[in-house]
Structure 1
């Protein structure tokens, strides 16, 4: 079950590959994420100096926390193997590819982030997807009435 999802990513990008990664969280951030006070709508993933980071991810401050609460939109490190990072770096350096956060979820006791290797959609691609979805909806509606 997802704690936070980025539905807009599927609209704006074609997701080619998905990866499950860990997030470096401090102190009360874990409790805030588990309470659902997180958003990845405006966040993005960058590869800097052979490390992967998520920028602009919002994690609300924990209401029962103290002075150890951290900045809500701080840059957080993501945990991947070096081979995975070098593979992603090679693909991202290609024209039109980027890394997009897709969802945050809990796996056993750990907080995980699903990121996707994505390619931006053009406006006509988005319209085409919407038209196909509308056609399928109409067909299903007619089949339902036919029975």
Structure 2
């Protein structure tokens, strides 16, 4: 019998690495409804414009788009509804304190299935200024050019 893959990636947030400097990462579960899980297994999700927000001592993922499952007949949830993040209470308290005190952003980096459970990799981030973004793009292009020149020599 074949084992299921350890991690099946559904969606990634590529803009997060460009627009933010990541300070700390962790994994959280998602509270989903039935049709949403099936839609995620089909890969129908988008992290564009998605962010985390603390409310009432809990963390919620706001603006995560999960397309409605095409074969469902009843109880179709809003595709962009707020979804609760599931994590240990100690982690939750620490993150909520950092969000309020340090004025950081809570950004999802990746949405995936691990051992059959829907998970999201979240990060506490600080927004980059425009000159920081240009600097990181310049550094990336320089390393790319160095790699190209090394390959030409070999």
- TM-score normalised over the length of structure 2: 0.92
- Report the counterpart of residue 53 of structure 2 in structure 1: 46
The answer to whether structure 1 residue 60 and structure 2 residue 67 are counterparts is yes
**One of 11, 21, 41 as aligned partner of 1:4:** 11
Distance 2:149 2:110 in 1: 34
What is the Cα deviation at residue 95 of structure 1?
Answer: 3.7
Distance 1:15 1:24 in 2: 24
**One of 128, 136, 141 as aligned partner of 1:121:** 128
- Report the counterpart of residue 133 of structure 1 in structure 2: 140
- Report the counterpart of residue 20 of structure 1 in structure 2: 27
Runs of 5+ in structure 1 lacking a partner? none
Runs of 5+ in structure 2 lacking a partner? 1-7
Q: RMSD of the TM alignment (CA)?
A: 1.0
- TM-score normalised over the length of structure 1: 0.96
CA contact (8 A) 1:27 1:69 kept: no
Q: After TM superposition, which residue ranges in structure 1, 4 or more long, deviate above 3 angstroms?
A: none
